[in-house]
Chains A and B, each alone.
Chain A
Amino acid sequence: MTTIARPLRKPFRPLESVRRTDLGSWPVVGALIVIAVVFGTLNEHFLSAENLTNLALQMAATGTISLGIIMVVLLGEIDLSAGSVSGLCAVVMTILSVRHGWNPILAVAVALVAAALVGLLHGWMFTRLGMPSFVVTLAGLIGWQGLMLYLLGRGGTINLSFDGLLASLSDTWLPPWAGWLLAASIVAVWTGGNLLERRLRRAADLPLSSALWLVFRFVGLAGVLTGAVVVLSADRGVPLLLVIFGSLVVALDLVLRHTVFGRRIYAVGGNAEAARRAGINVNRVRVQAFIAASTLAAFGGILAASRLAAVNQSSGSSDTLLMAIAAAVIGGASLFGGRGRAYAALLGILVIQSITNGMLLLNVDSSVRYMVTAAVLAIAVAIDSLARRGNPR
């Protein structure tokens, strides 16, 4: 009877294990694989280089808006105005550059500053007037769209010139050598950073994470990047739009994890009262997050305008906002605040855009597409809620 001495095995409860462990991004990665397999078998075109390149192009704009959403979601707040702000700022930029003939870079800069002011206003109303962020940004959703329509005037559509700098933003492709160089340097910098960190930790006599895990992640990163460059180079090349979006994701992730600002975002999102007592200026952090959210939304709007080579009355319409919020949540940013990484935007938008793209290829009616997207969103939030409830108190 050797079994007596062993500790009792825990009964198997799948929901329980979801609650106990932080699953991180694994459910999303699993979902992506399922999506790839399902649509890949149903339609041979889905996994083709051309379609995957289109997918990369479709992601960038909404994904950038989703990055902004993550900034406020991390605080446990919400920004419903991101879609409208993206449309408004795209229109501002287009009017300045097309109608007034401004230098496009200057026009983009002014549009981003305008967005920052919008975010400042939202943050001010939220912190000083004590209005719920839901209401502040709901007013923003309606109001900024109104302003956009007013600025557009009767015409309703303004075209960007196709060979201008702005339109070429979404029609520039890295030649294969540049794509490979980029991928190789990303892997090199990542590896260098990790090795340096290991050395510093060893010097400080701190425990090291297992080398095997590091190798595993190295292989994963190198594999994903190699795959991406192979596929994208088989078509038109790595799109500049994807490089811009990817850089924003990486930059924001580094800011959130390695700066005092990022640490304070997580702190305020986790327990605002504790942060306040620890001497953190909670309201300043909140205002900064709203400014970042609006600015990123505006940048997303500019990318969308570049891709369409125009702005019109449906720029940044309600679909954009909902997809951006859904992407953040599906990617693993917790609506309760304090949990989630910038990569949530990338993973989430990849899931949503793949579903949309795949269903369009299959000629599925948009009614079904909405229902499937809703189901994915509901599952993501359910996982989030269970994970939260599992935490002791």
Chain B
Amino acid sequence: MLSAKNVSKRYGAVQALDGVSLDLSPGEVVALVGDNGAGKSTLVKVISGVVPPDQGAIEQDGRPVRINNPLDAQRLGVSTVHQDLALCENLDVVANLFLGTERRRRSLLRHIHMERTARDLLSSLDVRIPDIRVPVAMLSGGQRQSVAIARALIGEPRVVILDEPTAALGVEQTAQVLGLIRRLRDRGLAVLLISHNLADVQTVGDRTVVLRLGRNAGEFRTAEATPESVVAAITGGTT
């Protein structure tokens, strides 16, 4: 439904992306892997509107679309969870979920409406937080990551991009977040998962796309791929 076609991006002398293509479909988790400097972040920035591509096109449902800034991406239903979660730790879960998109009547906050929506959203994602009215600072890393991901869903997006969602988490919390990613897929969202952790990719990815030195370096059905072949594609060990 959302696809990038032959996208190139150059930063000065560095060719960060060189004719990269990527397809995202509803109800599918695509894992984007690659070594440092392979162009993963740049591709995410292009899709989420942070930087415009030099060449190439982005299409939605077969029609070319323009994504020049993050707002354009949001309007097209593309929602990004950045690696540093960008939560306000002094605010409670409800306030964080609606940060910048507060439900209001004139300029008065609609506390009850927001809390109801927040509870419904969190329980539909099976995110368990003992008290959603305490400051986010009191939550564990996994709970915060869950809040950040849930926040990406407030605008009813069709595509969710997750940048290294498990990088800072322990084993149990990682399992929580991976479960959450599966539920996003089950809701029919297209999920793009950027990860260094091949174990995570194997667990939740439906399809694995490998970037190497700014180019497509392989694509696997995750179920059929062996870790060795993915590693080989990342490092350039095979063609």
Asked whether, in the complex, the Cβ of A338 is within 8 Å of the Cβ of B99, the reply is: no
> For the complex, is A130 an interface residue (Cβ under 8 Å from B)?
no
**What CA separation (Å) do A279 and B111 show in the bound complex?**
20
Kindly state the interface size class of chain A when it binds its partner: 20 to 34
Q: How far is the CA of A337 from the CA of B90 in the complex (A)?
A: 9
Q: Is B13 an interface residue (CB 8 A)?
A: no
Q: How distant is the Cα of A266 from the Cα of B100 in the complex, in angstroms?
A: 12
For B71, B88, B101, the residue with the greatest tally of chain A CB atoms inside 10 Å of its CB is B88
Is the C-beta of A269 less than 8 angstroms from some C-beta in chain B?
yes
Stretch at the interface among A138-146, A172-180, A253-261, A307-315: A253-261
Q: A284 at the A/B interface (Cβ < 8 Å)? A: no
In the assembly, what is the distance between CA of A391 and CA of B88, in Å? Answer: 13
Tell me how far the C-beta of B5 lies from the nearest C-beta in chain A, rounded to whole angstroms.
28
Asked whether any CB of chain B lies closer than 8 Å to the CB of A106, the reply is no
Q: Which residues 80-105 of B have a CB within 8 angstroms of A? A: 82, 85-91, 95, 99-102, 104
Q: Which residues of the other chain, A, contact B113 by a CB distance below 8 angstroms?
A: 204
- The total of Cβ contacts below 8 Å across the A-B interface reads 82
Residues from 256 to 303 in A contacting B, C-beta threshold 8 Å: 258-261, 263, 266-267, 269-271, 273-275, 277-280
In the assembled complex, which residues on chain A have CB atoms less than 8 Å from the CB atom of B111? 258
Chain B residues lying within 8 Å of A338, measured Cβ to Cβ, are 88-91
Would A274 and B88 be within 8 Å (CB), given that A260-B109, A279-B101 are in contact? yes
Residues of A near B101 (CB, < 8 A) are 278-279
Q: In this assembly, does B1 line the interface, its C-beta being within 8 Å of a C-beta of chain A?
A: no
Contact of B88 among A258, A259, A266 (CB under 8 A): A266
CB interface residues, B 128-146, toward A, < 8 Å: 135, 137-138, 140
Distance between Cα atoms of A258 and B137 in the complex (Å) = 21
B239 at the interface (CB under 8 A from A): no
Assess A205 versus B116: contact at CB under 8 Å? Given A260-B107, A277-B82: yes
Residues A204 and B116 in contact, CB atoms below 8 Å apart? yes
Task: Judge whether B199 is part of the interface by a CB distance below 8 angstroms.
Answer: no
Taking a contact as CB atoms under 8 Å apart, the answer to whether B90 and A206 are in contact is: no
Most buried by A among B90, B113, B135, B140: B90
Q: List 7 A-B contacts (CB under 8 A).
A: A204-B112, A204-B115, A263-B102, A267-B99, A271-B86, A337-B90, A391-B135
Give chain A's interface residues, CB within 8 Å of chain B.
22, 197, 200-201, 204-206, 258-261, 263, 266-267, 269-271, 273-275, 277-280, 337-339, 391-393
